[in-house]
């Protein structure tokens, strides 16, 4: 074995004794295998960890310390890497000198002598605490997801109950204005529930592509309005990704703006068009436009002082949540709402 050590390090100008000195003082466990796949070297940290002698570990003796549940996988990974002459990384449980099973991360890499494959060098580090921390984090995330799912379920049920109650009260109201207001409130609650439901289905902390979410929100709002002759036109830039926490209020704002346009921009059954546009205006900055060709808004609304429209009163609050700025302006005979936001 000493001769093979000399050959493996001669090109680097390091003697066998120097190599052993370096390896034994390395902060990781080091092994070496020859072309037969059997190991012909282990450094002192490895032997200190296992509490076994070098003679016990040589060849395939080291496998006696691998956990029985991990052994087949470990050997299969090891053999496949040797066959393909490629680096490998794997984790497995290795018995420590005190009998405790510890997770180690093993990295192996082929090496050559005089241009010919000579075997593998490898190093192992104890990753038990890291693995336990990751498992604990996964457990906590699973509990969090279960809690959120239960909370979402309860909120959804309460939202459905609220919608049903408002619709029932609208049917019983003797004043047509009150009945209309109750139906409008029920519609808003229902549409907001659909937005929240879609956002809830986004996995973990992943971002969401904003265009499809705004499109689904606007289409449902127009469909729910039940107004024939209102056409939705979309100009949505693809690939605009934002966090769910930002996408939710942005979608709710679009919902309110589209609902408001359907209810107020086209009186007396007149037809019309609602434009929904999304584009990036600068790196990290975007703009959402909801524009109609209806009858326009009263001056008080154009001046950002909406007094009689519940939806437009909600929009500024939602805009603050979305880190966005809203302005409303004339667009021909109709109205344009421009929502400028910074991503993130």
Among 255, 319, 315, 260, which Cα is nearest to 292's?
260
The conformational region for residue 236 under phi > 0 = left, psi -120 to 50 = alpha, else beta, is beta
Is the distance from CB of 81 to CB of 88 less than 8 angstroms? yes
Shared domain for 103 and 39, answered yes or no, is: yes
Shared domain for 89 and 154, answered yes or no, is: no
Residue 147 within a domain = yes
Shared domain for 177 and 287, answered yes or no, is: no
Shared domain for 85 and 187, answered yes or no, is: no
Is the distance from CB of 77 to CB of 87 less than 8 angstroms? no
Domain limits at 141? 136-201
C-alpha distance from residue 168 to each of 90, 174, 177, 181, 190 (Å): 62, 12, 15, 13, 14
Cα(234)–Cα(325) distance, integer angstroms: 21
Domain end position, chosen among 126, 153, 177: 126
Cα(82)–Cα(38) distance, integer angstroms: 11
The CATH number that applies at residue 207 is 3.30.565.10
When divided into structural domains, the chain yields a total of 3
Shared domain for 218 and 332, answered yes or no, is: yes
Cα(125)–Cα(127) distance, integer angstroms: 6
Please tell me the number of Cα atoms within 13 Å of 277 on its side-chain side: 15
Residue 256 within a domain = yes
Work out the end-to-end distance of the chain between its first and last CA atoms, rounded to an integer number of angstroms: 59
H/E stretch holding 286 reads strand 285-292
Shared domain for 328 and 244, answered yes or no, is: yes
- Provide the Cα torsion 153, 157, 160, 162; round to 10°: -120
What would you report as the CA-atom Rg of the chain, rounded to the nearest whole angstrom?
A: 33
Place 198 in a pLDDT band, splitting at 50, 70 and 90. Answer: confident
Instruction: Look at residue 55 and tell me whether its pLDDT is greater than 90.
Output: yes
Paired residues of 282 in beta bridges: 285
Q: Over range 50-77, report the average pLDDT.
A: 96
Cα(181)–Cα(36) distance, integer angstroms: 83
Residue 47 within a domain = yes
Is the distance from CB of 191 to CB of 225 less than 8 angstroms? no
Cα(178)–Cα(174) distance, integer angstroms: 8
Cα(136)–Cα(333) distance, integer angstroms: 60
Q: Over range 127-133, report the average pLDDT.
A: 92
Domain end position, chosen among 144, 167, 201: 201
Place 203 in a pLDDT band, splitting at 50, 70 and 90. Answer: low
Q: What is the structure's pLDDT at 142?
A: 76
Instruction: Look at residue 8 and tell me whether its pLDDT is greater than 50.
Output: no
The CATH number that applies at residue 16 is 3.30.450.20
Shared domain for 150 and 42, answered yes or no, is: no
Shared domain for 22 and 145, answered yes or no, is: no
Domain end position, chosen among 201, 223, 249: 201
Place 5 in a pLDDT band, splitting at 50, 70 and 90. Answer: very low
Residue 213 within a domain = yes
Instruction: Look at residue 200 and tell me whether its pLDDT is greater than 70.
Output: no
Is the distance from CB of 58 to CB of 18 less than 8 angstroms? no
Residue labelled with tokens 């689904």: 216
Instruction: Look at residue 205 and tell me whether its pLDDT is greater than 70.
Output: no
Shared domain for 207 and 337, answered yes or no, is: yes
pLDDT tens readout for residues 240-260: 999 988 988 899 899 889 988
Tell me how many helices (H) and strands (E) the chain has: 11, 12
Cα 193–197–201 angle (5° rounding)?
Answer: 170
pLDDT tens readout for residues 323-333: 899 998 898 88
Q: What is the structure's pLDDT at 148?
A: 60
Shared domain for 66 and 83, answered yes or no, is: yes
Residue 76 within a domain = yes
Angle between helices 2-10 and 16-24 (to 10 degrees): 90
Residue 34 within a domain = yes
Residue 232 has a CB neighbour count (10 Å cut-off) of 17
Shared domain for 67 and 181, answered yes or no, is: no
Residue 131 within a domain = no
In angstroms, how far is CA 205 from the centroid of its own chain? 4
Residue 297 within a domain = yes
Shared domain for 119 and 172, answered yes or no, is: no
């Amino acid at each position: 074995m000493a001769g093979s050590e000399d050959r493996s390090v001669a090109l680097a100008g390091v003697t066998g004794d120097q190599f052993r000195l370096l390896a034994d003082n390395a902060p990781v466990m080091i092994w070496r295998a020859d072309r037969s796949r059997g190991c012909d070297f282990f450094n002192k940290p490895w032997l200190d960890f296992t509490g076994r002698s070098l003679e016990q570990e040589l060849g395939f003796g080291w496998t006696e310390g691998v956990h029985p549940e991990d052994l087949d996988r470990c050997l299969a990974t090891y053999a496949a890497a040797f066959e393909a002459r490629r680096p490998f990384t794997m984790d497995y449980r290795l018995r420590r000198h005190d009998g405790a099973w510890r997770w180690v991360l093993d990295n192996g890499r082929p090496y050559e002598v005089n241009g010919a494959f000579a075997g593998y060098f490898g190093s192992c580090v104890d990753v038990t605490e890291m693995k336990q921390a990751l498992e604990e984090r996964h457990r906590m995330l699973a509990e969090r997801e279960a809690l959120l799912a239960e909370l979402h379920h309860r909120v959804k049920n309460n939202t459905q109950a609220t919608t049903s109650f408002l619709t029932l009260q609208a049917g019983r109201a003797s004043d047509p204005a009150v009945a209309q207001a109750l139906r409008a409130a029920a519609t808003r609650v229902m549409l907001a529930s659909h937005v929240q439901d879609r956002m809830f289905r986004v996995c973990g902390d992943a971002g969401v592509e904003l265009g499809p979410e705004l499109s689904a929100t606007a289409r449902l709002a127009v469909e729910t309005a039940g107004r024939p002759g209102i056409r939705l036109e979309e100009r949505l830039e693809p690939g605009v990704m934002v966090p769910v926490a930002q996408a939710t209020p942005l979608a709710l704002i679009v919902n309110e703006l589209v609902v408001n346009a359907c209810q107020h921009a086209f009186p007396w059954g007149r037809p019309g068009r609602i434009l929904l546009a999304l584009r990036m205006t600068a790196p990290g900055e975007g703009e959402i436009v909801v524009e109609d060709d209806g009858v326009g808004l009263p001056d008080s609304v154009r001046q950002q002082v909406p007094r009689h429209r519940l939806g437009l009163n909600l929009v500024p609050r939602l805009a603050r949540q979305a880190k966005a700025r809203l302005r409303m302006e004339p667009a021909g005979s109709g109205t344009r709402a421009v929502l400028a936001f910074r991503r993130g």
